[in-house]
Amino acid sequence: MVAPHESGYFTEENSADVVAARNANAENERLRDCVNILVKHIHAAVKEMEPSQEEWFKTIMFLTETGHMCNDWRQEFILLSDVMGVSMLVDAINNRKPSGASESTVLGPFHVEDAPELPMGTNICLDGKGEPMLVRGRILDVDGNPISGTKIDVWQANDEGFYDVQQKGIQPDFNLRGVFRTGADGSYHFKAVKPKFYPIPDDGPVGKLLRSLGRHPYRPAHFHYILEADGFESLTTHIFDPADPYIHSDAVFGVKESLMAKFELIDDQAAIAEAGFGGPFYLVEHDFVLAKEG
């Protein structure tokens, strides 16, 4: 007698096995295996939820609307991946680091490839708006040795929570962006402004889903970094303000405890003069540790 799943007839009990059997002749084994894993878990979820036909149609329409929202400037499916924690999970799997190395986090949608390379210590705030800030630290290997020649690509939102590319004609081009390179001591420093929390785009189906789930769309204040040095793995990461109101509920799950750096208000006159500011400023100090390639 032929077992139900071997006959090819689809039943509620053997559904995932029957679909997997139909995929047996796939030319790409990796594709076949990944699709079969997805089928296995999707079918298990459907059996557990037991959605009505109306509920399943609403799911299909949600995915349809998500696709319609995508264009050259907006990727709603990435946003969906972000708010479900999948983007951060994929990032974690692909960026496992040795003990002591700095952790990665998501790139985000507002990186610009051709930001200008600047002398160390330059103020990347071009419009003079916002509360002044000094950011400094060192780039080290896992043994604590400085890494010279590290390329540091940094960018941030302004004091209203917007990146320059979101406010063309309002912010100057390349506002709050810069590329720096470390010297022999591995240290870095630049001037900026205190960033503010901001919402991810929430005017589409993903934003509607968040509201339905009782969730907010906000990301806590942060700086973005991409660090690259010869002989070391590149690192895409952030540093976060631990006092931010959304530090424990980042909409895209990007916060890691090791990436928090105190945003300290400095009002000592001698320190203000030494830093070259005209009044009180915020100080952030954070070191990054890079893992060697391989």
**Domains in the chain, start-ordered, CATH in brackets?**
1-50 (no CATH), 86-290 (2.60.130.10)
| Residue closest to 43 by CA, chosen among 12, 71, 86, 88 | 12
* Residue 7: predicted pLDDT: 58
pLDDT computed for residue 292 by the predictor: 95
Question: What pLDDT is stored for residue 1 in this prediction?
Answer: 42
State the chain's mean pLDDT as an integer: 95
Contact 133, 282 (CB under 8 A): yes
Which residue from 120, 119, 196, 188 is spatially nearest to 156, judged by alpha carbons? 196
Q: Which residues face 198 on adjacent strands?
A: 219
Q: Burial letters for 18-47: b for 16+ Cβ neighbours within 10 Å, e otherwise?
A: bbbeeeeeeeeeeeeeeebeebeeebeeee
The pLDDT score that the predictor gives to residue 72 is: 85
Residues 6+ apart with CB under 8 A from 281: 131, 132, 133, 134, 265, 266, 272, 275
List, for residues 76-122, the tens digit of each pLDDT value: 999 999 999 999 999 999 999 999 999 999 998 899 999 999 999 99
pLDDT in tens, the chain (294 residues): 445 445 579 999 999 999 999 999 999 999 999 999 999 999 999 999 999 999 999 999 999 999 999 998 889 999 999 999 999 999 999 999 999 999 999 998 899 999 999 999 999 999 999 999 999 999 999 999 999 999 999 999 999 999 999 999 999 999 999 999 999 999 999 999 999 999 999 999 999 999 999 999 999 999 999 999 999 999 999 999 999 999 999 999 999 999 999 999 999 999 999 999 999 999 999 999 999 997
Q: Give the predicted TM-score (pTM) of the model.
A: 0.90
